[in-house]
Amino acid sequence: MSDCLFCKIVSGEIPSHKVYEDDHVVSFLDIHPVKIGHTLVIPKKHSVNLVESSVEDLTHVMTAVKEVMKGLIRTVDAEGFNVTSNIGQSAGQAVFHTHFHVIPRHNGDGLAMWAHKEVTQEELAVLAQRMR
């Protein structure tokens, strides 16, 4: 994809601060981090989002996510992680190339991800049945 920001990073057309790379995946520091060490992990092969990605690419990506987490434990003393992927514009996806955010976490860091909703067991049962 000639106009894809992440494809340009993969090709070297746009510089990045890479932290992990293999034949299938590249990982680099987010230029607008939620926390220091916030890293993006992407497949080198273009796909719009996780739903459109191949299982093979996702397997490589998740292997790289694990390696990135090990690096963040060593470098920023991460105590935990949020691993997220915004899929679709309504979910906040801004670059339409499959990617995962690996955000290092520390106890008491104040980062809140989202509010929870109250639901009944009956509502959950109906939804689960509909999804199946």
Domain CATH number, residue 82: 3.30.428.10
Amino acid type, 102: V
Q: Which two tokens stand for residue 81?
A: 């992680």
> Of 99, 101, 106, 116, which is the active-site residue?
99
pLDDT of residue 1: 62
Name residues whose C-beta falls within 8 Å of residue 111's C-beta, 6 or more positions apart in sequence. Answer: 34, 35, 82, 103, 105
pLDDT at residue 113 greater than cutoff 90: no
How many independent structural domains does the chain possess? 1
Instruction: Write down the pTM of the prediction.
Output: 0.92
Q: What is the pLDDT of residue 34?
A: 94
pLDDT category of residue 112 using cuts at 50, 70 and 90: confident
- Which structural domain, as residue segments, surrounds residue 114? 5-131
Q: How far is CA 2 from the centre of its chain?
A: 22
Per residue in 6-60, pLDDT (tens digit) is: 999 999 999 999 999 999 999 999 999 999 999 999 999 999 999 999 999 999 9
Partners of 29 in beta bridges: 39
For strands 39-43 and 80-84, give the pairing.
unpaired
Is residue 97 pLDDT above 70, yes or no? yes
Q: What one-letter code names the amino acid at 69?
A: M
**Is 101 labeled as catalytic in the residue annotation?**
no
